[in-house]
Amino acid sequence: MIPYIEFHIISLGIINIQVWGTLVALGFVVCLLILFKQCQSKKLDWDKVFSLTLQIAFFSFLFSRIFYVLWGGKWLWFLENPLRMLAVWDGGMASAGGFFGAALCLWIFYRKNKLIFWQIADILAFAFPFGWVVGRIGCFLIHDHPGTLTHSLLAVKFPDGARFDMALLEILALLPLLVIFIFSSKKQRSVGFYSTWLLIWYGVARFFLDFLRASDFVWADPRYSGLTIAQWGSVLLVFMGVGIYIRKVRIVV
């Protein structure tokens, strides 16, 4: 069993550094470094990719907060004091909203840059899981995504009993994809290759992992027809991945 150790703040005298926020920022930096290297090797316009990445980050954070407020079962609490919607430092971000925001931003970019869209989408898809894993380490350190009670070897000893930690499970689910991406990058791949792998792999993994998400808390994620918002979003990701494979991918690994 994995010990439960909360690690919220790094105290440096009068300065307190939030662990989760720091690792999310570090994950973003990791993505940028990978993207920069990819742009160099593929001779893509770094300024355009960097600008798009910043826009995606903004849209993702904005919509992850909006989704949390609207579908996280807490919108009445926010209506009592709308300024609470801005207090992101108190927690409350929905990854499904983040994916929606990113997709919206990419769609806008596609409308303006159809010729180079898939090249840039693929390097974004390649870089994303590496940064996402770093950010999820921050979630694991603060244990803000408890799972169901379990006796599994992967259980974390939460104060109320042994439970899955959803951030840890997601990290473990993504590690094989990172290995696939690293080895795949040694060869030339067809357009849409990395986008397809990311959407299908993450969509399938997240769909099944969310069945292990805790439902015995008052603030637990609400279910719609038995599924969380993230699971419905995962179904959409898989369909998108299959669609890209059919239309774009020509090389079979």
Nearest to 46 by CA among 35, 55, 58: 35
100 vs 67: CA distance, rounded Å: 9
Instruction: Specify the residue for token string 């995606």.
Output: 56
Is pLDDT at 74 greater than 50 in this prediction?
Answer: yes
149 vs 158: CA distance, rounded Å: 9
Among 7-11, 164-168, 226-230, 249-253, the minimum mean pLDDT is found in 249-253
Q: Where are the domains of the chain?
A: 9-45+116-247
Which pTM does this prediction carry?
0.85
117 vs 33: CA distance, rounded Å: 20
What confidence score (pLDDT) does residue 123 get?
94
Q: Are strands 9-12 and 146-149 parallel, antiparallel or unpaired?
A: unpaired
Nearest to 211 by CA among 160, 150, 156: 150
The mean pLDDT value of the chain amounts to 86
Give 137-148 pLDDT, tens digit per residue: 999 999 988 999
